[in-house]
């Protein structure tokens, strides 16, 4: 079974960085916030009183290979919080407690993966790969900047950087990632959730290839069907240009999808083939109380066919996934277009996207430099939907909540960067 590019094969020994000397800290934590210094000292068991923090100074906490903590005053401005750690060396320093919990964690994760459809052997390989991944990371850096007390005023930014160990599978994985040259499709208007993906076709295939067998295991019951599904999914990936956009919002809740295709006509023939339709008809959902029903060519528009998919539960009157369990999708021009939910607007939303694609009215734009994935969530707009799922929301929540949360994933300065912006 294939594993993610960043995963060490279970049969191969993981790279083990040498334990650092006491002169080289395993963790360095800096803060310029006067409140956080005493809090961190107390949490780390440092009993000596901290010196006063100068206007242009910061606290620097360190942990060495003997797991001893220290704090000194540093000069110069630093973010609200800055953390730098070396995961491989930390795993060596804490080897005994880590190994003590290894069997329990791997067993629990393996059980979950098997419940999702993976075989016992496949689940073991995945759990070992996940466990060994930190050894492939040279340095982890976390930076928190902005107004941590009230993000609505000045915004709050959190950046997590993973620098790969040179020559590791993770380093090769990061090198293989590149953005889509054509940029991402632009959906009109703003949604409750907006997501864009920008990957070069080769990067998209390299990223998804190791996941094909696992995803097939979730929907198909026999090894033969899983092999067929992985093969067809691999072929399907070869049709995408790597630029995608998804928007979810409105009332009733509706989703809109645009995914760039290298050749729309070729993709249309692929999804209309007997082999593809026969296999898709044999899908089984991981939740055995739900059923997937597909009507191929259920809708026609401007000479194109669109497939309707519906997920039904035990109670057919209860909408699943917030009403997004019904979708209508098909190829139009150079795009895969689709709509989800929306009540009676499903067909209207799909054909509107199809018309934009066929009439060459879809605009494309690059994401910010280095960004490969971007998700933006309208936080106040989320509250009414939480109430629909039975969650109690205080009346003042909308006034106290930041307006937007933006999550990005990409490459920055030789690292894989996960960034969060709240304002």
- The model's pLDDT over 196-219, given as tens digits with 9 standing for 90+, comes to 999 999 999 988 887 888 788 878
pLDDT value for 95:
84
pLDDT value for 9:
37
- Mark residue 297 as left, alpha or beta (left: phi above 0; alpha: psi -120 to 50; beta: remaining): left
- Describe the chain by its helix, strand, coil percentages, rounded to 5: 35, 30, 35
Q: Pairing relation of β-strands 27-31 and 81-85?
A: antiparallel
Residues of the chain short of pLDDT 70, as ranges, are 1-23, 116-118, 288, 314-323, 389
- From residue 399, give the alpha-carbon distance in Å to each of 65, 157, 175, 324, 402: 47, 21, 43, 28, 8
pLDDT value for 67:
87
pLDDT value for 320:
55
The parent domain of residue 316 ranges over 180-365
In a domain, 423, yes or no: no
Phi, psi of 167 (to 5 degrees): 85, 0
91 contacts 66 by C-beta, under 8 angstroms: no
Strand, helix or coil for residue 52: coil
In a domain, 289, yes or no: yes
Q: What is the DSSP letter of 345?
A: G
- From residue 171, give the alpha-carbon distance in Å to each of 85, 128, 151, 160, 263: 18, 19, 34, 16, 32
In a domain, 418, yes or no: no
Q: How many domains in the chain?
A: 1
122 contacts 113 by C-beta, under 8 angstroms: yes
Query: Residue 318: CB partners within 8 Å, gap ≥ 6?
Result: none
Output the CA angle 87-90-91, nearest 5 degrees: 90
In a domain, 265, yes or no: yes
pLDDT value for 56:
82
In this structure, what token pair is assigned to residue 262?
A: 């290298």
Phi, psi of 200 (to 5 degrees): -60, 150
CA separation for the pair 255, 337 (Å, rounded): 11
In a domain, 131, yes or no: no
Residue 282: CB atoms within 10 Å? 13
pLDDT value for 321:
57
Q: Chain centroid to CA 219: how far? A: 21
In a domain, 63, yes or no: no
In a domain, 97, yes or no: no
pLDDT value for 23:
62
Strand, helix or coil for residue 344: helix
Reported as a single tens digit per residue, the pLDDT across 352-399 is: 999 999 999 999 999 999 999 999 999 988 888 777 767 777 877 777
pLDDT value for 112:
78
Helix segments in 254-389, DSSP class H:
264-271, 274-280, 346-358, 379-388
* Nearest by Cα to 267 from 330, 212, 327: 330
* Nearest by Cα to 324 from 215, 220, 221, 191: 191
* Nearest by Cα to 325 from 338, 307, 312: 312
Strand, helix or coil for residue 339: strand
Residue 360's Cβ-side half-sphere holds a number of Cα atoms within 13 Å equal to 0
pLDDT value for 318:
53
* Helix (H) or strand (E) segment spanning residue 88: helix 87-93
In a domain, 333, yes or no: yes
């Amino acid at each position: 079974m294939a594993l993610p590019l960043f995963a060490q094969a279970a049969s191969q020994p993981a790279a083990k960085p040498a334990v650092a000397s006491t002169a080289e800290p395993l963790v360095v934590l800096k803060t310029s916030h006067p409140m956080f210094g005493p809090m961190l000292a107390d949490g780390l068991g440092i009993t000596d009183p901290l010196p006063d923090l100068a206007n242009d100074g910061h606290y620097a906490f360190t942990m060495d290979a003997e797991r001893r903590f220290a704090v000194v005053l540093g000069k110069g401005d630093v973010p609200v919080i800055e953390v730098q750690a070396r995961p491989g060396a930390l795993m060596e320093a804490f080897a005994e407690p880590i190994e003590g919990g290894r069997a329990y964690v791997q067993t629990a994760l393996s059980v979950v993966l098997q419940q999702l459809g993976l075989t016992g052997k496949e689940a073991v390989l995945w759990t070992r790969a996940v466990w060994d991944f930190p050894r492939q990371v040279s340095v982890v850096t976390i930076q928190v900047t902005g107004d941590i007390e009230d993000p609505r005023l000045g915004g709050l930014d959190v950046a997590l950087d993973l620098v790969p160990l040179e020559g590791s599978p993770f380093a090769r994985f990061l090198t293989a990632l590149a953005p889509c040259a054509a940029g991402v499709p632009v959906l009109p208007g703003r949604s409750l959730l907006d997501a864009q993906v920008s990957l070069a076709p080769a990067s998209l295939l390299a990223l998804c290839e190791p996941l094909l067998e696992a995803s097939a295991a979730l929907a198909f019951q026999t090894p033969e069907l899983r092999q067929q599904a992985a093969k067809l999914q691999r072929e399907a990936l070869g049709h995408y240009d790597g630029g995608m956009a998804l928007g979810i919002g409105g009332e009733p809740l509706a989703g809109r999808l645009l995914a760039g295709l290298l050749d729309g006509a070729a993709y249309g023939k692929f999804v209309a083939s007997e082999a593809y339709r026969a296999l898709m008809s044999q899908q089984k959902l991981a939740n055995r109380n739900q059923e997937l029903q597909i009507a191929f060519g259920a809708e026609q528009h401007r000479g194109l066919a669109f497939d309707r998919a519906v997920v039904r539960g035990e109670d057919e009157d209860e909408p699943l996934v917030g009403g997004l369990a019904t979708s209508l999708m098909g190829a139009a021009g150079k795009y895969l277009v689709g709509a989800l939910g929306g009540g009676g607007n499903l067909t209207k939303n799909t054909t509107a996207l199809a018309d934009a694609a066929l009439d060459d009215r879809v605009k494309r734009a690059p994401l910010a430099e280095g960004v490969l994935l971007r998700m933006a969530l309208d936080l106040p707009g989320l509250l009414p939907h939480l109430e629909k799922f039975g969650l109690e929301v205080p009346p003042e929540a909308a006034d106290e909540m930041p307006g937007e949360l933006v999550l990005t994933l990409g490459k920055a300065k030789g690292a894989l960067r996960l960034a969060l912006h709240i304002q």
